[in-house]
Chains A and B, each alone.
Chain A
Amino acid sequence: MTARPGLATHGVTAIVNGAERRARVIPRLLLADLLREEWGLTGTHLGCEHGACGACTVLVDGEPTRSCLVFAVQVDGCRVDTVEGLAGDGPGLHPLQEAFRVRHALQCGFCTPGILMTLVAYLRLHPAPSETEIREALSGNLCRCTGYQHIVQAALDAAAAGREAGASA
């Protein structure tokens, strides 16, 4: 999809989940399609393709970004983090992922990667959020399955665990 004779292509180099990746892409290729179709990172999901549902949220230089609204060429030289890199190299889960599991904060799992990436960035900046603040931080991510209650609880749990880990460190 990225190249066809006669079509201009551009080089993209990005640090994806800590490792450098390169691709040649057509100018209009979306970041989501680069991640999913070229680099095989299918954990990033497309729910609406118009920036409203948040399922495709990834971090670009640490900022939550809708990968359906960004062209691949725009991340040239950037750091991109997706759900696949959240837990690091180990076999375990990231504390937020673990909280989601314990609280049953996911059902079909389709919106989950975008919600995790949104919350990871939010909790980094807001280590002690209130329930209302978490709900507002989540309000750009749609989940049709859970009713959000368990997601909010998981985020509060993860925030508390993060504070504890910080205090004991």
Chain B
Amino acid sequence: MKFVGDRHLRKEDPRLLTGRGRYVADIALPGLLHAVLLRSPHAHARIARVDSTRARAHPGVVDVVTFADLGSAGRAMPMVPPHAELRGHNFAPLAGDRARFVGEPVAAVVADSRYAAEDARELLDVEYEPLPSAQTLASGAPAVHDDVADNVAGRVTLARGDVEAALRAAPRVASVRLRIGRGGGQPMETRGLVADWNAALGQLTVWASSQVPHQIRQFIADLLDLAPHQVRVLAPDVGGGFGAKLIVYPEDVLIPFLARRLARPVRFIEDRLEHMLAATQEREQEHEVTVGFDDAGRLLALRDRFVHDTGAYTPRGLVVPLLTASMLTGPYRIPAVESSFESRYTHRVPVTPYRGAGQPQAVFVIERVLDLVARETGRDRAQVRLANLVRTEDMPWHTGLPNYRGSGHVVLDSGDLPSVLRRALESARYEARGAEAAAARAEGRLVGVGVACYVELTGVGPFESARVRVDAGGRITAWSGVSTQGQGLETTLAQVAADELGVTPEDVAVIMGDTAGVEHGTGSFASRAAVVGGSAVALAARDVYAKARLLATRTLGIAEADLEQSGAAFADRRRPERRVTFAELARTAGAATAALGVEPGLESTRYFQPTDMTYSSGAHVALVELDPLSAIVRILGYWISHDSGRLINPLIVEGQLQGAVALGIGSALLEEIAYDEAGQLLAGSYMDYLLPTATDVPTMVIDHLETLSPLNPLGLKGVGESGTLPVPAVLASAIEDAVGPQGGRVTRMPLGPARLLDLLPPTRLGSGENP
């Protein structure tokens, strides 16, 4: 392979660097109208009446729409995926008689400018009857949905072996309670849509800042009673997703509804406060864990019971807690496991996957357990991990736990987990760092080393599509059902296609996120785009290449052995002046008769349907110092060893890892979505919800292993989310090391300054060091 594996510079960059990107807010159409949403100010309220008289009279206002105006579009949206234990509820394009979280859309105002629309929004008179709301995961809270009185959206137990017996038999047992708080993906571009109804064609065109344009098309078609071919959804340049653009939101159907109703193009751009209020979030869970182990630090039994906050609706069913529960054992061999959860409704923003999707919680839990076992047995934390890691000869490793899709079990397909950890330790000079930290602590500084391992479920099905075409002008185009939000897929998919076709990535135009490009598509999430999308592109490009060679042999009248490729042309090896270009072959194929023996068109559409998920793995080591006065954690060093199978583009993979670690640092130390007891958001801006800045994120040292996956043609594994998974765990480990045995234990995430102060050893509290 020539381009797969190359640190190829990105094709998308010249456009994005010069301000020529085209994000959804950049799309302006003649006659464009602007929509803004009125959102519920109450966590739970009956909506008695909406009076739009004053708003409609405001200059520039074209329309005001409430639930009553939606007609047959006023239905709950479907849930993805279904689950037997799910008592699910999804939102409708606007709230009907009840609002269930602060920020739920109640009405839309459409005007000739956003300024006018926002002014008119102030003039909407809504009569709310506030109701008590569920702001706790404890039982007895007010019901979020009338038919789910106990607020339990689902209750699931996953098990391998008899965990109670194994715990009784274990020489040693320990327990810990762990809590993880809420955060969000927070892409720098908020969500947004432009919708345009073409009455002559009977067609809706919708530009959406989304990770799943095909799913949006389906939901629009369902709720607006249109055939799928009447709806074209395009994700243009998308300014980050991280899960915040993974689900189909009420606006994704509402804005197209408005465009059709008004027969005018309509734009909606969420502002940042709305994003904080209403974009889905994740992570909040409370775990009670009990572990059985022996004096050598070997894990014998693990029981985890947790409660998961799913918010007011379940657009993604039980996916997040199922991921946490099914991935609990991570990279470790544990003979008996039981992982059970209750997913509970609250009157808060719905919870759906964001970068990591339930897995950072699982990693935090199991890695806290490993540190606990190390402390209880007086053993080194890395050694305890090495003693429990799945060994290379155990691969493929059957964890015995059902996977989150219910399509089988979690089976680690490949990998060399001990080598990954050893290389991270070597890269960090773990023992020397430990000695340095101990020496610093002897001088009174709070310096510590942490280590954490992880596996990540990637390359999720059910399928991804690709269409590769050489047209009569010689242009090579690859359409993919995945979409890109900054992951560099325009480049990596071109690298894959280029190798299959014997051309360069610059010769291949990649088009993603356009439902008119490929009829079926799944989207970009679950670290799947390169794995499943890349495999589909490889298959389609292989077909095209085989067809091109066949046509070339016939056109030139030579045997295949005499065929020689030079760029986008084939020649007769013996008489190189006799050649035929891809463009000529495409023209031949475009008029293919039965006699030619091929179907028309130099193109192929293929689907890759992975038989199972493929699992990436890695280990992180961190060196931190905690400042006892400011309670700020400085990360002095960060080392990553990572195995995501074959690397299509190492430069891009490194960028993915660095960005994911930065996000993990935010979710470990800075970011928390907090609500008051009435469900009012307490962090509605970047002044009180802090994203990591350039001074918070350290330089990372990255080491790659490439253990090929046997589950796809190129041996790929996903990477996009991997880097996020172990960050809270490795920082917890390092901070606990820094505060020493006299300090506190890290039992919750995130760790803001107030919680860090609680961890300080008694000698560092009130020690009069404050000058």
Please tell me if A130 contacts chain B, counting CB pairs below 8 Å.
no
Q: What is the bound-complex CA distance between A130 and B428, given in angstroms?
A: 24
Please determine whether B685 and A48 come into contact, CB atoms closer than 8 angstroms: yes
B220-262, CB under 8 A of A: which get 1 and which 0?
0000000000000000011110100000000000000000000
Report the nearest B residue to A98, measured CB to CB. B17
On whether A43 and B18 interact (CB within 8 A), knowing A48-B686, A104-B651, A107-B659, the answer reads yes
Q: What is the bound-complex CA distance between A145 and B652, given in angstroms?
A: 11
Please tell me if A67 contacts chain B, counting CB pairs below 8 Å.
no
Residues of A within 8 A of B12 (CB): 109
Please tell me if B517 contacts chain A, counting CB pairs below 8 Å.
no
Please determine whether A146 and B662 come into contact, CB atoms closer than 8 angstroms: yes
Please determine whether A152 and B694 come into contact, CB atoms closer than 8 angstroms: yes
Interface centre among B113, B114, B242 (most CB of A within 10 A): B113
Please determine whether A108 and B19 come into contact, CB atoms closer than 8 angstroms: no
Please tell me if A125 contacts chain B, counting CB pairs below 8 Å.
no
Interface centre among A44, A100, A135, A144 (most CB of B within 10 A): A144
Segment with Cβ contacts to A, from B76-84, B467-475, B483-491: B483-491
The smallest C-beta distance from B37 to any residue of chain A, in angstroms, reads: 15
Segment with Cβ contacts to A, from B138-146, B181-189, B291-299, B319-327: B181-189
Contact pick for B687, options A50, A82, A107, A145, CB 8 Å: A50
Contact pick for B59, options A4, A36, A48, A145, CB 8 Å: A4
Q: What is the bound-complex CA distance between A87 and B485, given in angstroms?
A: 25
Please determine whether A107 and B655 come into contact, CB atoms closer than 8 angstroms: yes
Report the nearest B residue to A114, measured CB to CB. B188
Residues of B within 8 A of A26 (CB): 115
Please tell me if A52 contacts chain B, counting CB pairs below 8 Å.
yes
Residues of A within 8 A of B116 (CB): 1, 4
Q: What is the bound-complex CA distance between A116 and B17, given in angstroms?
A: 8
Please determine whether B240 and A108 come into contact, CB atoms closer than 8 angstroms: yes
Please tell me if B658 contacts chain A, counting CB pairs below 8 Å.
yes
On whether A109 and B114 interact (CB within 8 A), knowing A43-B20, A138-B693, the answer reads no
Please tell me if A64 contacts chain B, counting CB pairs below 8 Å.
no
Restricting to A55-95, which residues have a CB under 8 Å from any CB of B? 55, 82-84, 86-87, 93
B184-198, CB under 8 A of A: which get 1 and which 0?
011111100000000
Please determine whether B10 and A45 come into contact, CB atoms closer than 8 angstroms: no
Interface centre among A42, A102, A108 (most CB of B within 10 A): A108
On whether A101 and B14 interact (CB within 8 A), knowing A110-B239, A146-B658, the answer reads yes
Please determine whether B655 and A150 come into contact, CB atoms closer than 8 angstroms: yes
On whether A112 and B17 interact (CB within 8 A), knowing A1-B114, A53-B188, A139-B694, the answer reads yes
Please tell me if A142 contacts chain B, counting CB pairs below 8 Å.
yes
Please tell me if B26 contacts chain A, counting CB pairs below 8 Å.
yes
Restricting to A6-28, which residues have a CB under 8 Å from any CB of B? 6, 26, 28
Residues of A within 8 A of B26 (CB): 36, 42
Residues of B within 8 A of A36 (CB): 25-26
Please tell me if B510 contacts chain A, counting CB pairs below 8 Å.
no
Please determine whether B691 and A142 come into contact, CB atoms closer than 8 angstroms: yes
Please determine whether B189 and A47 come into contact, CB atoms closer than 8 angstroms: yes
Q: What is the bound-complex CA distance between A82 and B20, given in angstroms?
A: 12
Residues of A within 8 A of B558 (CB): none
Report the nearest A residue to B271, measured CB to CB. A49
Please tell me if B555 contacts chain A, counting CB pairs below 8 Å.
no
Residues of A within 8 A of B242 (CB): 144
Report the nearest A residue to B685, measured CB to CB. A50
Please tell me if B148 contacts chain A, counting CB pairs below 8 Å.
no
Please determine whether B691 and A100 come into contact, CB atoms closer than 8 angstroms: no
Please tell me if B611 contacts chain A, counting CB pairs below 8 Å.
no
Report the nearest B residue to A149, measured CB to CB. B658
Report the nearest B residue to A86, measured CB to CB. B18
Please determine whether A107 and B486 come into contact, CB atoms closer than 8 angstroms: yes
B111-143, CB under 8 A of A: which get 1 and which 0?
011111000000000000000000000000000
Please determine whether B487 and A107 come into contact, CB atoms closer than 8 angstroms: yes
Residues of B within 8 A of A41 (CB): 19
Please determine whether A42 and B19 come into contact, CB atoms closer than 8 angstroms: yes
Please determine whether B659 and A139 come into contact, CB atoms closer than 8 angstroms: no
Residues of B within 8 A of A93 (CB): 14, 17-18
The smallest C-beta distance from A118 to any residue of chain B, in angstroms, reads: 11
Report the nearest B residue to A41, measured CB to CB. B19
Q: What is the bound-complex CA distance between A36 and B25, given in angstroms?
A: 9
A111-152, CB under 8 A of B: which get 1 and which 0?
111001000000000000001001110111111111111111
Please determine whether B188 and A143 come into contact, CB atoms closer than 8 angstroms: yes
Please tell me if B387 contacts chain A, counting CB pairs below 8 Å.
no
Interface centre among B10, B17, B189, B487 (most CB of A within 10 A): B17
Q: What is the bound-complex CA distance between A45 and B13, given in angstroms?
A: 16
Residues of A within 8 A of B700 (CB): 147, 149
Contact pick for A45, options B14, B18, B23, B655, CB 8 Å: B23
Q: What is the bound-complex CA distance between A144 and B184, given in angstroms?
A: 11
The smallest C-beta distance from A10 to any residue of chain B, in angstroms, reads: 15
Please tell me if B767 contacts chain A, counting CB pairs below 8 Å.
no
Q: What is the bound-complex CA distance between A1 and B660, given in angstroms?
A: 39
The smallest C-beta distance from B3 to any residue of chain A, in angstroms, reads: 16
The smallest C-beta distance from B638 to any residue of chain A, in angstroms, reads: 10
The smallest C-beta distance from B702 to any residue of chain A, in angstroms, reads: 9
Q: What is the bound-complex CA distance between A131 and B698, given in angstroms?
A: 11
Report the nearest B residue to A29, measured CB to CB. B115
- A selection of 25 A-B contacts at a CB cut-off of 8 Å is A1-B113, A41-B19, A43-B19, A44-B19, A46-B269, A47-B188, A47-B239, A48-B685, A48-B686, A50-B687, A104-B10, A104-B488, A107-B655, A108-B239, A108-B485, A109-B21, A110-B189, A144-B242, A147-B655, A147-B660, A147-B662, A147-B697, A148-B658, A149-B658, A150-B655
List 9 additional A-B contacts (Cβ < 8 Å) besides A1-B115, A43-B21, A110-B240.
A26-B115, A84-B19, A84-B20, A107-B655, A142-B691, A143-B694, A144-B663, A147-B659, A149-B658
Residues in chain B within 8 A of chain A (CB atoms): 9-10, 12-14, 16-23, 25-26, 28, 59-60, 112-116, 185-190, 237-240, 242, 269, 271-272, 485-488, 651-652, 654-655, 658-663, 685-687, 691, 693-695, 697, 699-700
The 3 closest A-B pairs by CB, nearest first: A43-B19, A108-B486, A110-B239
